[in-house]
Amino acid sequence: VVKGNQIFLNFDQAELVINKDVYGHFAEHLGRCVYDGIWVGPDSDIPNYKGYRLDVLEALKELQVPVLRWPGGCFADTYNWKDGVGPRSERPKLVNVFWGGDVEDNSFGTHEFLELCQILGADAYIAANVGSGSVREMIEWIEYMTSDQDIPMANWRRENGREEPWDVKFLGIGNESWGCGGEMTPEFYVNLMRQYSVFARQYGGSDMIRVGCGSHQFYYHWTEVLMREGRNHMEALSLHYYTIPTGDWGIKSEATGFDEDLYFSALRNALRMDELLKGHIEIMDRYDPEGRVELYMDEWGIWTDPEPGTNPAFLHQQNSMRDALIASLTFDIFHRHARRVQMANIAQMVNVLQAMILTDGDRMILTPTYHVFNMYKFNQNATYIPVEITTEKYAFENETIPAITGTASTKDGKVFVGLSNLHASETLTIDVDISGGNANRVLKATILTAPEFNSHNTYDNPNVVAPAEFAGYELTAGNLQVVIPPYSVVTFEME
Ligand code: AHR
């Protein structure tokens, strides 16, 4: 057991709220995320509620999903929303050009999405088609969804079975417009964004939060141009960051069966989220020092090779204990940037990339990442307690990363502490200095760990990586001493 790690909770500096939307999700028409993963249709043999699979719904409800982004992704800039409303049997089919060229029957459209949001209690985040659509199509979509007046689009919605308008909170002005959304330059896109944004605010009586399509990775110039020329036309700006274990988009590496080199490099690359946020926020702060424009990391997560034997365009990957650590350390980073980071959307909800849930026919498994979302959900709308961590390093070959990451927050008189031991082999002891607050009793202590750092759940063994009650701590006056096994996440709720 190695000693000498410490985390200090600055209770007196707790003031920023962690927006619940940081625990948001993303569901794209991609592979088996929407079709199969969420939607099987009312006539399916798979138990469903009005076409949504019941097992998945129940699992998602437990997570308290605050916001759901849809329909893409790259798909959004090909989507014709009008083909996805009206009687399902009459809806035209479409080719999903970005994700395998499959023909979809449009049976999951605007009504099905917005009803899903209602069932989950999630706010809706719609991505408008800027790449191949028009301002007029976007205006009509807004009217269809949100108008209560006697006008053609609202009346069409009524004819299609929905009397009341929906409350659609967020509107994305395109997706990855620098890439699959149109290969635009920022100088070109920012003018389009301003045009779409003006009309987005005039129709449907809505005051949707308009999200400018943001940058990805370390492409700072995009953020610079959007903030310089577009900041008055958006309430939020997005950003995308995917963790590629190898750092090479051409050879991403397998989701399971990897050795310590890829365990380490994936965690190291995920930790770069902090540097990335600092870089983009520094630009935003220059143009918007009061922090009016929010930053939405509306796609994030680990991206590995797809599962062998699956359609590579479906991005169906397994999920290991390593990915659970990527989720926890990323939330630790998001919390630190709570002032600007007001939303994040894991890519993606079911069956695609770093999914919460995997399905196969009528079977379903919860992934290690799901469990972190569940263990960390206390943080939704909690007040962040700034933490100072002194931790030893986890060294691999010539590089090091912090061996422990952590976070803390407070809500309703309770205190949350989350700690992740990233080390591949060492059990670590850490002292949590809680002397500044009123946390004298552990209400709940949970651990997520696994036999190996690359362990994962399967349909035959669904609980290889599953949370358990945790007893490896000792609480004395003002100090919580925690002994954390390697590759583990532990969380505490205290009062
Ligand atoms: O999440 C998968 C894809 O990754 C999305 O469609 C796109 O926005 C990003 O490149």
Distances (CA, A) of 345 to 86, 173, 300, 495: 29, 16, 7, 30
- State the catalytic residue, choosing from 104, 143, 235, 299: 299
| Long-range CB contact pairs, 385-388, < 8 A, 24+ | 385/9, 385/10, 385/11, 385/13, 385/14, 385/409, 385/410, 385/415, 385/437, 386/10, 386/13, 386/14, 386/336, 387/7, 387/8, 387/9, 387/10, 388/7, 388/8, 388/10
Q: Which residue has the tokens 């919860």?
A: 366
What confidence score (pLDDT) does residue 129 get? Answer: 98
Q: Give the global pTM.
A: 0.97
Q: How far apart are CA 423 and CA 106, in angstroms?
A: 46
Q: Which residue has the tokens 């986890």?
A: 394
Cis status, amide bond into 250, omega within 30 of 0? no
Whole-number Å distance, alpha carbon 140 to ligand 1 midpoint, is 25
List per-block mean pLDDT (blocks of 10 residues) for the chain, which spans 495 residues. Answer: 80 98 98 98 98 98 98 98 98 96 96 98 98 97 95 98 96 98 98 96 83 97 98 98 97 97 98 98 98 98 97 98 98 98 98 98 98 98 97 96 98 97 97 93 98 98 98 96 98 98
Q: How far apart are CA 323 and CA 454, in angstroms?
A: 9
Backbone angles phi, psi at 315, to 5 degrees: 50, 40
Which letter does DSSP use for residue 350 in this model? B
Q: Is the dihedral of CA 238, 240, 369, 431 positive or negative?
A: negative
Atom of ligand 1 nearest to the CA of 175: 8
β-bridge partners, 346: 25, 300
Q: Which residue has the tokens 């964004």?
A: 193
Q: How far apart are CA 446 and CA 153, in angstroms?
A: 50
| Domain spanning 19-380, CATH architecture | Alpha-Beta Barrel (3.20)
Residue of the CA atom closest to atom 8 of ligand 1:
73
Q: How far apart are CA 213 and CA 198, in angstroms?
A: 15
Ligand 1 touching residue 72 (CB < 6 A): yes
β-bridge partners, 151: none
Atom of ligand 1 nearest to the CA of 98: 6
What confidence score (pLDDT) does residue 2 get? Answer: 45
Name the maximum alpha-carbon separation found in the chain: 70
Using DSSP's 3-state secondary structure scheme, residue 144 falls into helix
Active site residue 282: no
Does an H or E element contain 163, and which? none
Tell which residue, 422, 409, 381, 370, has the closest CA to residue 493.
409
Query: Are the beta carbons of 454 and 414 closer than 8 angstroms?
Result: no
Buried-state track 138-168, b at ≥16 Cβ within 10 A, e below 16: bbbbbbbbbbeeeeebbebbeeeebeebbeb
Q: Which amino acid is at 464?
A: V
Q: Which residue has the tokens 């206390």?
A: 378
In total, the chain counts a number of residues equal to 495
Active site residue 299: yes
Cis status, amide bond into 165, omega within 30 of 0? no
Ligand 1 touching residue 73 (CB < 6 A): yes
Using DSSP's 3-state secondary structure scheme, residue 329 falls into helix
Q: How far apart are CA 299 and CA 213, in angstroms?
A: 12
Q: How far is C-alpha 140 from the chain's CA centre?
A: 28
Residue of the CA atom closest to atom 9 of ligand 1:
73
Class of the CATH-defined domain 2-9+385-494: mainly beta
Tell which residue, 148, 160, 156, has the closest CA to residue 204.
148
What confidence score (pLDDT) does residue 9 get? Answer: 97
Does an H or E element contain 353, and which? none
Token digits for 347?
């890519």
Ligand 1 touching residue 299 (CB < 6 A): yes
Whole-number Å distance, alpha carbon 76 to ligand 1 midpoint, is 10
**393-396 and 399-402 strand pairing:** antiparallel
Token digits for 401?
């990363």
Does an H or E element contain 159, and which? helix 152-159
Q: Which residue has the tokens 């505490």?
A: 492
Q: How far apart are CA 56 and CA 188, in angstroms?
A: 41
Ligand 1 touching residue 323 (CB < 6 A): no
ipTM of the complex: 0.99
Token digits for 378?
């206390």
Q: Which amino acid is at 269?
A: N
What confidence score (pLDDT) does residue 204 get? Answer: 75
What confidence score (pLDDT) does residue 206 get? Answer: 66
Distances (CA, A) of 410 to 24, 406, 414, 492: 20, 14, 6, 11
Whole-number Å distance, alpha carbon 26 to ligand 1 midpoint, is 10
Q: How far apart are CA 20 and CA 122, in angstroms?
A: 10
Per-domain boundaries in the chain: 2-9+385-494, 19-380
Q: Which amino acid is at 31?
A: G
